[in-house]
Amino acid sequence: DVKVTQSSRYLVKRTGEKVFLECVQDMDHENMFWYRQDPGLGLRLIYFSYDVKMKEKGDIPEGYSVSREKKERFSLILESASTNQTSMYLCASSLATRNQETQYFGPGTRLLVL
């Protein structure tokens, strides 16, 4: 079974802090994704990566950056956390094939920025 793990289930941070959210997958997937989920909205893509050291902006990249130094690990960085970044953050991974490839998700990190 594919396993995607996220470093924390819950985090509380203060405005202005630098925040790191870590995601690790164990199935050698090329693609990795970071989403945020807010009430009443669908999952929104922040950044994705299709290979080591490669990254692409998603729909809402402002205020975030990412790092992918190893294939299995994809980090989301909030350079200076703000209250509007309070949200549920989900990481996902998938194979890079030309089929209708399913994305496999981690359990999410619920971040509260005070």
Q: Which of 28, 80, 101, 114 contacts another protein by CB under 8 A?
A: 101
Q: Shortest approach of another protein to residue 41 CB, angstroms?
A: 6
Q: Please report whether residue 42 would count as binding another protein according to CB under 8 A.
A: yes
Q: How far is CA 75 from CA 7, 18, 52, 93, in A?
A: 10, 13, 12, 13
How far apart are alpha carbons 49 and 33 in whole angstroms? 6
Q: Please report whether residue 56 would count as binding another protein according to CB under 8 A.
A: yes
Taking the CA of residue 63 as centre, how many other CA atoms within 13 Å lie in the half-sphere pointing to its CB?
Answer: 14
Q: Which of 13, 50, 72, 73 contacts another protein by CB under 8 A?
A: 50
User: What distance, in Å, lies between the first and last C-alpha atoms of the chain?
Assistant: 37
Binding stretches for another protein (CB under 8 A)? 4, 31, 35, 40-45, 48, 50, 56, 58-59, 90, 94, 96, 98, 100-108
